[in-house]
Structure 1
Amino acid sequence: MTLASARGALTRLATLFALVGGGLLMLAVCVTTASVIRGAFGRPILGDSEIVELALGVAVVFCMPLCEMKGAHVLVDFFTQKLPKRGIAGLDAVMRAVAALVVAILAWRLAIGGYNQWDRERESMFLQLPFWWGYAAAAIGMVAWSLCAAFVALESFVRMRRPA
């Protein structure tokens, strides 16, 4: 498998995650809108904040793999503007590898947290939604983000090693 075909596959996966994340964002918008409208008539939606919290938390994590693949993160290049292209690529590769490691650790900790929530049968107050669902979904999103970050780091290492 070439880097280009791997990039295509990971970008498709990241896009799928982002579409699901966008759907969750729309769910949160619809629930909030419906709750506000119903609240105006004295009939708010019970547990609306529980749905919105779960949906938004997972939505953010699910959008991050595509941000990684597109290089759409905030970039502060004030100190690196004068570096040669290979130096920038090297620094970029190291920082992306560190990001991949940090996100992988977060995925691991979310998985453990989700297991603990499942084991203790923790649920939300109003709707009795199991907390572990959000942890599990976020952990899966973090694994996808970590894979994308590791791949982009690999691309940066390859770019750094190419002759100028």
Structure 2
Amino acid sequence: MQEPLPGARVAGTLPGFGPIGYRLLALSKALAMAGGLVFVLLVAMSIVSIVGRKLAAAPVPGDVELLQMSAAFACACFFAYCHLIGGDVKVDFFTARASARTLRALDALGSLLFGAMGAALAWRGTAGMLAMKDSGETSIILGWPIWLAQALMIPGFVLMALAGLYMVGAHLRSPAVGAPQEVQP
């Protein structure tokens, strides 16, 4: 993993980061590890399927369906962890000379929006999952219920919402660490 930049505000290093934050971090790290394992297994399955298709005309049945369903779950596993460790993409060109207070407020606003997006994804994902369960939709080749793939994504979205909302408070409670100095005229 990449080390954070000097002065970067990262989960676990923020003075406002408390015991609840550490629990969220541990849970999100475990979920991210599960997502990473799923991606490794998907790569192995894809290799077996491609080699089987080329050498023996025997690909893994439903490999594309497995890839689509599993990759969606795995992606949802990473959001909370990335946010808690400060791994989000930030474009700080316009805020390079902003005060520490402004930077904290912007970080808190970004976390609030992140949490709101996680909550919306969890809410609508649950609604979509229930609708698919009621309709009985299945994948074409494997015949697996589609709603299961959506159900697997929901915990990642819930954790994303919790991480975002927790980080709002963590940013607002933290003192100005690593912020650029005010330029005096």
Q: TM-score, normalised by structure 1?
A: 0.93
Match of 2:43 in 1: 29
Residue identity in the other structure for 1:22:
G
Matched, 1:109 2:124: yes
Identity of aligned residues (%): 25
> Quick one: higher RCO (CA 8 Å, sep 6+), 1 or 2?
2
Question: For structure 1, which runs of at least 5 residues remain unmatched after alignment?
Answer: none
- 1:53 matched to 2:103: no
Question: Which amino acid in 1 is paired with 2:41?
Answer: L
C-alpha RMSD over aligned residues: 1.8
1:67 is aligned to 2:82: yes
- How far apart in 2 are the matches of 1:137 and 1:123? 15
- Do residues 14 (structure 1) and 24 (structure 2) align? no
What TM-score do you get using the length of structure 2 for normalisation? 0.83
- The one-letter amino acid paired with 1:37 is V
Q: What is the deviation of 1:3?
A: 3.9
Partner secondary structure for residue 78 of structure 2: helix
- In 1, are the aligned partners of 2:100 and 2:176 still within 8 Å (CA)? no
1:108 & 1:9 partners in 2: Cα distance?
A: 23
Alignment of 1:110-149 (within 5 A): 110-149=125-164
Q: How far apart, CA to CA, are the structure 2 residues paired with 1:154 and 1:134?
A: 32
Match of 2:12 in 1: none
Counterpart Cα distance in 2 of 1:96 and 1:103: 10
1:37-75 alpha-carbon deviations (Å, 9 max, x no partner): 100121111100001111111101101111011010111
Letter in structure 2 aligned against 1:17: L
What displacement does 1:119 show?
A: 0.5
Unaligned runs of 5+ in 2: 1-15, 180-185
Deviation at 1:98, TM superposition (A): 1.5
| Bigger proportion of residues as helix | 1
The size of the alignment, in residue pairs, is: 162
- Once the 2 structures are TM-superposed, how far is the Cα of residue 35 of structure 1 from its aligned partner? 0.2
CA distance in 1 between counterparts of 2:34 and 2:129 reads 20
Could you tell me how far apart the structure 1 residues matched to 2:169 and 2:176 are? 11
How far, CA to CA, are the matches of 2:113 and 2:76 in structure 1? 18
The one-letter code matched in structure 2 to 1:150 is: L
Deviation, structure 1 residue 160:
6.1
Q: Which runs of 4+ in 1 moved over 4 A?
A: none
Give the corresponding residue for 1:39.
53
